[in-house]
């Protein structure tokens, strides 16, 4: 597929990699943005990835209340220095993450955080549903795998579409924050409460 200048520009802004490297990454990944970022990381060309190993112990806890107190969110976002932690760019990013958690109710930060028993339970549900729908045995596995990916996209914060721009994910928003601040930025943890919800889950 043809790689556009806009795609190269977006990838360059997110990763800090060179134009030719960005073009090659997009060509290798058939224009898939996330795969292109992974390619650049593997090659050691993404500046955002190079910052990922640096200690992030500064930051802030952002509190957000929505719907006249019907939903409350607390998010801890970390960076490397107090200087960046006090910056408007960093604080705005933390606020956007709190808004995302309030609106989209993720359960985990990333797919690796999902417990094995939860994944197994979801896989059983997806398999039973596909069988009830009469899907052919030959394609059952692919259908179940597809539904598992959809599940992960829904419950993992980093894989969710950004509520203000659904063409990008929260992971892309995080990468942009790393590039913009010049520091490693980490979404450490979050909690979300909704009025009247069960606390037994």
Q: What is the pLDDT of residue 201?
A: 44
CB 170 within 8 A of CB 159: yes
pLDDT at 97: 97
Mean pLDDT of 38-59: 70
Task: Yes or no: say if 114 and 159 are a contact pair by the CB < 8 Å rule.
Answer: no
Average pLDDT, the chain: 87
Q: 21 and 101 share a domain? A: no
The verdict on 24 and 40 lying in the same domain is yes
Higher pLDDT, 54 or 82: 82
Does the residue 63 lie in any domain? Answer: yes
Identify whether 177 is part of a domain: yes
Tell me how many domains the chain contains.
3
Residues 97 and 125 in one domain: no
In a domain, 199, yes or no: no
Mean pLDDT of 69-97: 93
HEC sequence for the chain: CCCCHHHHHHHHHHHCCCHHHHHHHHHHCCCCHHHHHHHHHHCCCCHHHHCCCCCCCEEEEEEEEECCCCEEEEEEEEECCHHHHCCHHHHHHHHHHHHHHHHHCCCECCHHHCCHHHHHHHHHHHHHHHHHCCCCHHHHHHHHHHHHHHHHHHHEHHHCEECCEEEEEHHHHHHHHHHHHCCCCEEEEEEEEECCCCCCC
Residue 201 forms part of a structural domain: no
Q: What is the CATH number of the domain that holds 10?
A: 1.10.8.10
The reply to whether 24 falls in a domain is: yes
- Kindly report the pTM of this predicted structure: 0.69
What pLDDT shows up at residue 17? 76
pLDDT score of 183? 86
| Residue 184: domain span | 58-109+156-194
Separation of alpha carbons 93 and 89, rounded Å: 6
Same domain flag for 105 and 161: yes
Cβ proximity of 29 and 14 under 8 Å = no
User: Residue 40: is its pLDDT beyond 90?
Assistant: no
The answer to whether the beta carbons of residues 58 and 43 sit under 8 Å apart is no
Same structural domain, 17 and 80: no
Neighbours of 169 (CB within 10 A): 20
pLDDT for 174-195, tens place per residue? 999 988 888 889 999 999 999 8
Q: Is the domain of 98 the same as that of 127?
A: no
Per-residue pLDDT band at 46 (split at 50, 70, 90): low
């Amino acid at each position: 597929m043809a790689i556009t200048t806009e795609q190269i520009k977006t990838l360059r802004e997110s990763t800090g990699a060179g134009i030719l490297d960005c073009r090659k990454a997009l060509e290798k990944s058939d224009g898939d943005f996330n795969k292109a970022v992974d390619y650049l990381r593997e090659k050691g060309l993404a500046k955002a990835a190079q910052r990922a190993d640096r200690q992030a112990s500064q930051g802030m806890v952002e509190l957000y209340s929505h719907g006249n107190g019907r939903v409350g969110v607390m998010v801890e976002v970390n960076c490397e220095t107090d200087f960046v932690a006090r910056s408007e760019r960093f604080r705005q990013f933390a606020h956007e993450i709190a808004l995302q958690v309030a609106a989209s109710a993720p359960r985990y930060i990333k797919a690796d955080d999902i417990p094995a028993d939860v994944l197994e339970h979801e896989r059983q549900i997806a398999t039973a549903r596909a069988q009830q729908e009469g899907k052919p045995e030959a394609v059952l596995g692919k259908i179940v795998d597809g539904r598992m990916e959809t599940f992960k996209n829904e419950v993992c914060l980093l894989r969710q579409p950004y509520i203000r721009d659904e063409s990008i994910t929260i992971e892309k928003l995080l990468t942009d924050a790393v590039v913009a601040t010049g520091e490693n930025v980490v979404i450490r943890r979050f909690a979300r409460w909704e009025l009247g919800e069960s606390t037994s889950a």
